[in-house]
Amino acid sequence: MEARPEAANLVRIYAALADEPLAEALARCGGMPFSQFKEALTERAIAALVPLRERMMALLADEAGLDRVLHEGAARARAIADPILAEIKRIVGFVG
């Protein structure tokens, strides 16, 4: 694999997408012609990404849900940041 870093990178991506150890991916794909391996890699990538895309599209379709999550996150962030900012303002002298 060291002689072909581009191939090594693709095999690592394949193994990650297949959720299998690198040695197993190498055993499965090691003797394949590069064109056949790239086709197998493409199929793995599609299989991994389609569910993510579907979930993302469902989340984006729920505008009320997105707004709720954003407002809740902003409230949590304010709860953490407000005391810190108040202390900084006190130290700097912005608060009487």
DSSP assignment of the chain? -TT-HHHHHHHHHHHHHHT--HHHHHHHHTTS-HHHHHHHHHHHHHHHHHHHHHHHHHHHH-HHHHHHHHHHHHHHHHHHHHHHHHHHHHHHT---
Indicate whether 32 and 68 sit together in one domain: no
CA nearest to 7, candidates 23, 26, 24? 26
Q: Are residues 14 and 56 in the same domain?
A: yes
Residue 96's pLDDT is 55
Structure tokens at 90: 């006190």
Q: 35, 8, 43: which is closest to 23 by C-alpha?
A: 8
When divided into structural domains, the chain yields a total of: 2
57 and 68 fall within a common domain: no
Task: For residues 56 and 67, state if they share a domain.
Answer: no
**pLDDT score of 7 more than 60:** yes
Same domain, 55 and 74: no
Between CA 58 and CA 18 the distance in angstroms is: 24
**Do residue 55 and residue 11 come from a single domain?**
yes
- Residues 2, 45 within the same domain: yes
pLDDT greater at residue 95 or residue 83: 83
> What is the pLDDT, as a whole number, of residue 95?
67
Is residue 53 pLDDT above 90, yes or no?
yes
Range of the domain at 94: 63-96
Residue 55 and residue 94 in one domain: no
Q: Is the dihedral of CA 65, 67, 71, 77 positive or negative?
A: positive
Mean pLDDT of 77-88: 96
Summarize pLDDT for 12-47 with one digit per residue, the tens. 999 999 999 999 998 888 888 989 999 999 999 999
